Each structure stands twice: as C-alpha cells, then as structure tokens.
Amino acid sequence: EKCTFCFQRILAAETKAQAEKRELRDGEFSPACVQSCPTGAMVFGDLDDPKSEVSRLSRSGRGTTLL
C-alpha cells in the first residue's frame, strides 16, 4: 500500500488548530510509524520551517530524507 503519512491525523490536527484559531505547531501530530518508533529514529515535520525539529536534524548531515 502507498503511504499517506496518516493523512487523517494531519487533517484532525489542522482542524483542531483552526477551531482554536491558531497555527499548527511543530510536533503536534505524527504519523503512526513515527509514533511507534521506540528509538525516536524517525521524525516527521515541515522542512520549510527552519525552527522545526525535522529541519534542524536535516541540516546535521547525519540523517536520511524520505520523500
């Protein structure tokens, strides 16, 4: 099956943020694969946000970027 990055989780977090009249925060949701990774080796987020954890980690040069 093709991965959808748990689109239903993304949509639920966006809907909640809109209802609270605020922006979606970094780390507010994550796909099931990231949530279930016991070592924290997987990170999900916005690479275009220079303050996000995933953006910071991608600049380190030690990670692998998927999609």
Phi-psi region of 48 (alpha: psi -120 to 50; beta: other; left: phi over 0): alpha
Reply yes or no on whether the pLDDT at 2 is more than 90. Answer: no
pLDDT at 67: 65
pLDDT, average across residues 43-67: 86
Please answer whether residues 31 and 5 qualify as being in contact, where contact means their C-beta atoms are separated by less than 8 angstroms. yes
Rg of the chain over CA atoms, in angstroms?
13
Distance (Å, whole) CA 48 – CA 40: 21
Reply yes or no on whether the pLDDT at 65 is more than 80. Answer: no
Indicate whether this model's pTM tops 0.75.
Answer: no
Distance (Å, whole) CA 30 – CA 52: 13
Model confidence over 17-53: pLDDT tens digits?
Answer: 999 999 999 989 999 999 999 998 899 988 899 999 9
